[in-house]
A and B are shown apart, each in its own frame.
Chain A
């Protein structure tokens, strides 16, 4: 048993729902007790979907357990088919139904529905949401892909690809698909299929007609991409086009796979000039803590480091399946990789790192709010306000512009930062007033109390420390104490404070 307060991922059947809900003409029959219908609200409320997810739940009760829960399943599957008339169905069990071992796949086969029925085995007690989405998408592709299929490029004379991975409840998937889709079209590459988002089972049958696959979200699409590579000899892209550098590399990779000229893809982007303009100088070396799914976290670290000039002060992901990639990235930035789905552990790591900006999921947004550190959301799980009305991709050149804007927005502006430093006791700009960009109410709290009782602060030094703006004071305190401890000093004087400042200064 594992004590869990907040979770980054739901159970694997929620992953299956994310795939089913993204698709058209597919229905999911889920053997589950009544409470499990809560999952509908993830889609209708958080993502503001205007239709119910295509899921029928058996909602069996305790009294059914003594009787025939298998019969309840068969009835639900039959009625779901009659009512929704899907082109294909996926069937499976949630955590409770897994324990009663009714075998939804076998039962569905026995009622003889006139459409393909794809059984899902999603072990609820060992796997999680992303794995469930990935496995579901793979099973759908494997079951529905038509084996002998003519390459589309042989017919139309242009290369074509599939875009794999976008799903319901994904972080900006809707806009990424539009951004990358138009990028591919501008390079003269046809899009054979986008899946799961918007694809019907009949569309998926044609998946083998593409020359290669563009894998946007490995968490959801990689298992299927690897199977397609083996089965249809379709190579897939390895670069995730988040940030200017990665987008350029992605274009080169795609051009190579498609045998086309990369130049038409190299469109306009504002990020390079926005970063090079003098106002951005104040971003230099700002410490940023990054946490999310591995794909978004690794990509964000590169943008933060190379394209905005931040310092990566922490990097982690909640999905263990991609731990190896994340470890390699953490090594590049010289930080300890944080691979955990324990929310409290992430909170402790952020408090310890004392970053000036947090890039994370909605969970880190809450952590950052409590620690009074600015934050921007870069990855699922996200809340309703991270599904914006406006076009707001993360990928491609427009995505880079969006990243620059959204990450910079929560920061104290350069000149305001200087003024805060100069006029510490300003009647409006004092600690208790809080930062204007964070609403200006509520005092700043120092996340970390003195690290040790061994080193004493001289009252004058303590007073001097309080002149340092609150958003860097914790770091100054910690650095000074470390500096003093390393030198076996018992008391920190004003000089020690400035010695430490000179020592750690960037």
Chain B
């Protein structure tokens, strides 16, 4: 099923339904468990779920990772009361083994959703049992409801719902979306220099340090996939600061400027603060512009970061956008981004992977952004690819990382010119 819908503002959006070659939301656990350092993610699911996270994580660098799967077995499917008792047993076993855990997420999966195992109720019950040592929250990472980064959205919206109400009158800034520590530290320094004192990041690094939220909260999205989190924040009275995303020099400047304007910081102060990092980021990006300018790029849908990254590649590196595929297009959160894209770009939402592969091969892009399942097959067809998962696992946001983001695209092209075999 393919429909071409002309939106109010160009560009046109190709909406597709068919086989989707994307991860489910469980995959977000791979970075979330590193981000919140005393949280544990317990997937209630099948052997497939366990195998997926293990395969997506690639290497098992952690002796005992802070995630695991409670694998549903045949006898659990016999009756629901039994499944709940079994879950309680697994949680007891887990918490006895890991006294360092302060926050436990029960993560719903396709099978737990289909058998209608109520993890919300289970989380409330277990939270009561293990209070005050451990808080138990839940969200869904199931493939029937979420793709890839929507798992993080689920996790953060559960944190927002659980967050204490902010009683203070003073406005506070909340930056939403899991970022690398180094990125968070850089942003904190910039906000401090701008004179914005009260800045929180969601999620915080420790379970007990999660931010308070109230009507004075102004939130700034650092990631484009936080639909439910934004809704939960709005329910608390928090207000969104509309901005493009902090990818690339221009994206970062506009993002910081949106916060500065909300805090009514004078343009002079703003320019003084960003001048130095902006200038060095521009210099670093310029080196990649020589290599990437005029090259064409095709995005398969993956993380919802596609639109802001495409904007960066187009406006700051001079690349041609052939197709920008995204699993889901949030028109409101991406409004500022979409305005910056060229009018003739093809954006596709959803996926019918076979048809998209046909389009990709016909377009013959210089570089194709795709998942790990498609990369080697496309390379074998003579295309150059960039694994999209690296765009989630690498610190990319902010001035100091703008050139790193560009480098992710130059490297595969440089490699092609180096190899003589």
Docked complex Cα distance between A8 and B19 (Å)? 28
Residues of chain B with a CB closer than 8 A to A126's CB: 73-74
B171 CB to closest chain A CB (Å) equals 38
Q: Across the interface, name the chain B residue whose C-beta is closest to A58.
A: B19
**Per-residue contact bits, chain A 12-54, to B (CB 8 Å; 1 contact, 0 not):** 0110000000000000000001111111111011001111100
B97 CB to closest chain A CB (Å) equals 9
Q: Across the interface, name the chain B residue whose C-beta is closest to A84.
A: B354
Interface status of A245 (Cβ within 8 A of chain B): no
Are the C-beta atoms of B68 and A3 separated by less than 8 Å? yes
A84 CB to closest chain B CB (Å) equals 9
Interface status of A363 (Cβ within 8 A of chain B): yes
Are the C-beta atoms of A1 and B73 separated by less than 8 Å? yes
How many positions in chain A have a CB within 8 Å of any CB in the partner chain? 58
Interface status of B115 (Cβ within 8 A of chain A): yes
Docked complex Cα distance between A168 and B176 (Å)? 42
- Of the listed stretches B6-14, B335-343, B360-368, B373-381, name the one at the interface; the rest are far from the partner chain: B373-381
Are the C-beta atoms of A4 and B69 separated by less than 8 Å? yes
- Of the listed stretches A60-68, A103-111, A314-322, name the one at the interface; the rest are far from the partner chain: A60-68
- Of the listed stretches A91-99, A139-147, A183-191, name the one at the interface; the rest are far from the partner chain: A91-99
> Which residue of A42, A51, A125 is within 8 Å of B46 (Cβ)?
A125
Docked complex Cα distance between A469 and B147 (Å)? 52
**Per-residue contact bits, chain B 40-75, to A (CB 8 Å; 1 contact, 0 not):** 000010111011101110011101110011111110
A36-B48, A56-B19 are contacts. A41–B373 as well, Cβ < 8 Å?
yes
Are the C-beta atoms of B22 and A124 separated by less than 8 Å? no
Which secondary structure dominates chain B's binding surface? helix
Which residue, A33, A34, A41, A99, has most C-beta atoms of chain B within 10 A? A34
Are the C-beta atoms of A94 and B48 separated by less than 8 Å? yes
Are the C-beta atoms of A95 and B47 separated by less than 8 Å? yes
> Which residue of A1, A76, A83 is within 8 Å of B90 (Cβ)?
A1
Interface status of B261 (Cβ within 8 A of chain A): no
**Per-residue contact bits, chain B 80-99, to A (CB 8 Å; 1 contact, 0 not):** 00010011011001100000
Docked complex Cα distance between A99 and B144 (Å)? 13
B348 CB to closest chain A CB (Å) equals 16
Interface status of B110 (Cβ within 8 A of chain A): yes
Are the C-beta atoms of A2 and B70 separated by less than 8 Å? yes
Docked complex Cα distance between A57 and B377 (Å)? 17
Interface status of A128 (Cβ within 8 A of chain B): yes
**Per-residue contact bits, chain A 197-216, to B (CB 8 Å; 1 contact, 0 not):** 00000000000000000000
A7-B47, A50-B379, A56-B19 are contacts. A99–B114 as well, Cβ < 8 Å?
yes
B88 CB to closest chain A CB (Å) equals 10
> Which residue of A38, A58, A96, A383 is within 8 Å of B52 (Cβ)?
A38
> Which residue of B48, B83, B373 is within 8 Å of A44 (Cβ)?
B373
Interface status of A123 (Cβ within 8 A of chain B): yes
Chain A, range 74-133, C-beta contacts under 8 Å to B: 76, 79, 83, 94-96, 99-100, 123-126, 128
Interface status of B145 (Cβ within 8 A of chain A): yes
> Which residue of B24, B77, B94 is within 8 Å of A34 (Cβ)?
B24
Are the C-beta atoms of A41 and B372 separated by less than 8 Å? yes
Are the C-beta atoms of B21 and A40 separated by less than 8 Å? yes
Are the C-beta atoms of A34 and B50 separated by less than 8 Å? no
Are the C-beta atoms of A3 and B70 separated by less than 8 Å? yes
Interface status of B161 (Cβ within 8 A of chain A): no
Interface status of B246 (Cβ within 8 A of chain A): no
Are the C-beta atoms of A1 and B72 separated by less than 8 Å? yes
Residues of chain A with a CB closer than 8 A to B87's CB: 1
Are the C-beta atoms of B374 and A52 separated by less than 8 Å? yes
Are the C-beta atoms of B144 and A65 separated by less than 8 Å? yes
Docked complex Cα distance between A39 and B55 (Å)? 8
> Which residue of A44, A61, A65, A125 is within 8 Å of B72 (Cβ)?
A125
Interface status of A344 (Cβ within 8 A of chain B): yes
Are the C-beta atoms of B68 and A4 separated by less than 8 Å? yes
Interface status of A427 (Cβ within 8 A of chain B): no
Interface status of A5 (Cβ within 8 A of chain B): yes
Interface status of B234 (Cβ within 8 A of chain A): no
Residues of chain A with a CB closer than 8 A to B89's CB: 1
Docked complex Cα distance between A94 and B51 (Å)? 13
Interface status of B23 (Cβ within 8 A of chain A): yes
**Per-residue contact bits, chain A 363-395, to B (CB 8 Å; 1 contact, 0 not):** 100100010000000000001000000000000
> Which residue of A2, A42, A52 is within 8 Å of B377 (Cβ)?
A52
Are the C-beta atoms of B63 and A48 separated by less than 8 Å? no
Are the C-beta atoms of A37 and B373 separated by less than 8 Å? yes
Interface status of A273 (Cβ within 8 A of chain B): no
Are the C-beta atoms of A4 and B374 separated by less than 8 Å? no
A35-B24, A45-B376, A50-B377 are contacts. A60–B144 as well, Cβ < 8 Å?
yes
Are the C-beta atoms of B47 and A11 separated by less than 8 Å? yes
Residues of chain B with a CB closer than 8 A to A41's CB: 55-56, 371-373
> Which residue of B27, B55, B93 is within 8 Å of A3 (Cβ)?
B93
Are the C-beta atoms of B24 and A33 separated by less than 8 Å? yes
Docked complex Cα distance between A38 and B20 (Å)? 11
Docked complex Cα distance between A422 and B232 (Å)? 67
> Which residue of B63, B94, B375 is within 8 Å of A370 (Cβ)?
B63
A58 CB to closest chain B CB (Å) equals 8
Are the C-beta atoms of A65 and B373 separated by less than 8 Å? no
Residues of chain B with a CB closer than 8 A to A61's CB: 144-145
**Per-residue contact bits, chain B 378-403, to A (CB 8 Å; 1 contact, 0 not):** 01100000000000000000000000
Are the C-beta atoms of B111 and A99 separated by less than 8 Å? yes
Docked complex Cα distance between A14 and B50 (Å)? 13
B99 CB to closest chain A CB (Å) equals 16
Interface status of A285 (Cβ within 8 A of chain B): no
A126 CB to closest chain B CB (Å) equals 5
Interface status of B228 (Cβ within 8 A of chain A): no
Are the C-beta atoms of B74 and A125 separated by less than 8 Å? yes
> Which residue of B48, B114, B142 is within 8 Å of A100 (Cβ)?
B114
Are the C-beta atoms of B354 and A83 separated by less than 8 Å? yes
Interface status of A10 (Cβ within 8 A of chain B): yes
> Which residue of A42, A62, A83 is within 8 Å of B144 (Cβ)?
A62
Are the C-beta atoms of A40 and B144 separated by less than 8 Å? no
Are the C-beta atoms of A44 and B375 separated by less than 8 Å? yes
Residues of chain A with a CB closer than 8 A to B71's CB: 1-4
Q: Across the interface, name the chain B residue whose C-beta is closest to A35.
A: B24
Are the C-beta atoms of B110 and A95 separated by less than 8 Å? yes
Q: Across the interface, name the chain A residue whose C-beta is closest to B82.
A: A1
Are the C-beta atoms of A11 and B111 separated by less than 8 Å? no
Q: Across the interface, name the chain A residue whose C-beta is closest to B375.
A: A44
> Which residue of B48, B65, B142 is within 8 Å of A124 (Cβ)?
B48
Docked complex Cα distance between A59 and B93 (Å)? 34
Residues of chain B with a CB closer than 8 A to A56's CB: 19
B317 CB to closest chain A CB (Å) equals 27
**Per-residue contact bits, chain A 343-374, to B (CB 8 Å; 1 contact, 0 not):** 01001000000000000001100100010000
Interface status of B166 (Cβ within 8 A of chain A): no
Q: Across the interface, name the chain A residue whose C-beta is closest to B76.
A: A1
Are the C-beta atoms of B55 and A366 separated by less than 8 Å? no
Which residue, B26, B47, B63, has most C-beta atoms of chain A within 10 A? B47
What would 16 more interface pairs be, CB under 8 Å, given A1-B44, A1-B87? A1-B89, A2-B90, A7-B47, A10-B48, A35-B24, A35-B142, A45-B373, A50-B380, A59-B19, A62-B142, A62-B144, A95-B48, A96-B46, A96-B143, A99-B77, A125-B77
A-B contact pairs, 27 of them (CB 8 A): A1-B86, A2-B73, A4-B69, A5-B65, A6-B54, A7-B51, A10-B48, A13-B48, A14-B51, A34-B143, A35-B25, A35-B110, A36-B52, A37-B373, A38-B56, A45-B372, A49-B376, A52-B373, A52-B377, A59-B20, A59-B143, A61-B144, A62-B142, A94-B48, A96-B114, A96-B143, A99-B114
Residues of chain A whose beta carbon lies under 8 Å from any beta carbon of chain B: 1-7, 9-11, 13-14, 33-42, 44-45, 48-52, 56-62, 64-65, 76, 79, 83, 94-96, 99-100, 123-126, 128, 344, 347, 362-363, 366, 370, 383
Across the A-B interface, the 6 shortest Cβ-Cβ residue pairs: A35-B24, A35-B143, A40-B373, A50-B380, A33-B143, A96-B110
Residues of chain B whose beta carbon lies under 8 Å from any beta carbon of chain A: 18-27, 44, 46-48, 50-52, 54-56, 59-61, 63-65, 68-74, 76-77, 83, 86-87, 89-90, 93-94, 110-111, 113-115, 142-145, 147, 354, 371-377, 379-380
